[in-house]
Structure 1
Amino acid sequence: MANPLYIKVLKYGLFIPMVRVPVPTDGDVVIPRHFAPKDLPTYTELEKEKVSLDNSLQLILIESLDNVMYTNIINCESAKKIWENIEILCEGTEEVRSNQRKILVSQYEGFMAKPKEDINEVFERLNKLINDL
């Protein structure tokens, strides 16, 4: 069963355990809290599990790719970066997707049955257009 935290790893990136670093105060000056990454030996068991999620997810993603896709993500450092590259390779950038949506909406608005096309063929074309939208 897939770990439900995988979605968070894809959305927010690698979990990095942090520790609060004490900052000396300077009289009445309020210094905001400062956090720094923890050293590996100080990780709790839960933090170790969360950190390992990225590696597990990277393996899952890599094993599911073909050779062409694999060559495009080989240098990615995290599961989030792999996922972002896969999205771009499969769907294009946001600009490309926006242009594609505009084209599909235009095709939908001008949709008509072709001469000598039966109702099943019209339905199939319309259904494909709607699914693409």
Structure 2
Amino acid sequence: MSVKTNKQLRQFGLVVGVGLAVVASISWYRGHTTVPYVLWSGAALLLLFGLVYPPALRPVEKGWMKFGYVLGWINTRIILTLLFALVVTPIGAVARLFRDPLDRNVDDGKATYWLPKKVAPVRPEVYERQF
């Protein structure tokens, strides 16, 4: 984690403060009594320090970022596990049941198992721009 400038700390305080205020307002609108006031208090402190003295938010920002990294680590494992279990595994099972990618069936009536290659006419322009 890099050292944050005052501008970045100010932005952190303002963005998270406004976010907390929005969450508090939604909680208040839904009829909760205590939670909105706690969130509004946190939002007010973040906004106040963000506007007046951003370096005071450095420990809060570090804690927030550590929390974000931990949450990201956990969510990544959950999402990738679900993706593998619900998407990749069924596709692999169906492919193994109904497909033979190596064409391994043995046919005694075949003279050869060689697959002819489709030959395209070779032009010098093909070698000039290969990609």
Q: Output the TM-score relative to the length of structure 1.
A: 0.29
Larger strand proportion, structure 1 or 2? 1
TM-score normalised by structure 2 residue count: 0.30
Rg larger for: 2
